Structure 1
Amino acid sequence: MKNLHNEIMNIIQYAIDNPYKFGDNDCNIIVLRLIDLINGTTQLSNRQYTSVKEGIAGLNAEGWNHTGEIVEAYCNQVQATTDGDIWLHPENPLIMAVVVSGRVLGVNENHDGFELQPKPTEGTYYRVRKHIDG
Structure 2
Amino acid sequence: MLRNIDPILSPELLHALRAMGHGDEIVIADANFPGSSIGPTCIRADGSSASEMLKAVLSVMPLDTYVPDPALTMQVVGDPGTVPEAVAEFQTIIDATADCPARIQGVERFAFYDRAASAFAIVQTGERRLYGNIILKKGVIG
Q: TM-score range by the shorter chain?
A: under 0.3
Higher relative contact order (CA 8 A, sep 6+): 2
Q: Taking structure 2 as the reference length, what is the TM-score of the superposition?
A: 0.26
